[in-house]
Amino acid sequence: MRSLCMISVLAACMFAGCASERGESVIMPGFDFSSISEVAVLDPSGDIYGETAKNQIADFFEMELMSKGYPCIARTRIKKLLDEQDFQASDVTSNADVAKVGEILNVPVVMLVNIPKFESKMTVTAKLVQVETGHILWIGEGSGSTG
């Protein structure tokens, strides 16, 4: 799981045109990551311009999760289910919100990605949150510069 953490954050940062300068991650000790049956990757939040950029960043995280054996829900399904419940993914700001989204989507784990400023120097943070408990299972970050 630790390699998934670093790879995911750095891959997203590299995708955005960054040369990685640093990154780190922390996992919840003792959690059995093999018990994760499905993950919903929500649209990245932060100062990101355009749906295309959001989709590409989320796609990178999905590719990394899937390459490590974690099935992901298609974001079109996520958007449809959240729209049906009048719940916008951009409203997800707390672990309680994550729990509500996870219940709507019927998934055990939700991944949140945040890029506060999408510019020449940027930081990407991501976390996996267990829906049932609201606990953060993994959190990672990476930063870099474009060019």
pLDDT tens digits along 53-106: 788 888 989 998 999 899 999 988 888 888 888 876 666 767 778 888 888 889
**Average model confidence (pLDDT) across the chain:** 79
Is pLDDT above 90 for 145? Answer: no
Is pLDDT above 90 for 109? Answer: yes
Angle at alpha carbon of residue 102, lines to 117 and 134, rounded to 5°:
80
Is pLDDT above 60 for 130? Answer: yes
CA distances from 72 to 10, 12, 22, 67 (A): 19, 16, 27, 11
Is pLDDT above 60 for 16? Answer: no
Model confidence, pTM: 0.80
Within the chain, residue ranges assigned H as helices are: 2-15, 51-67, 75-84, 95-105
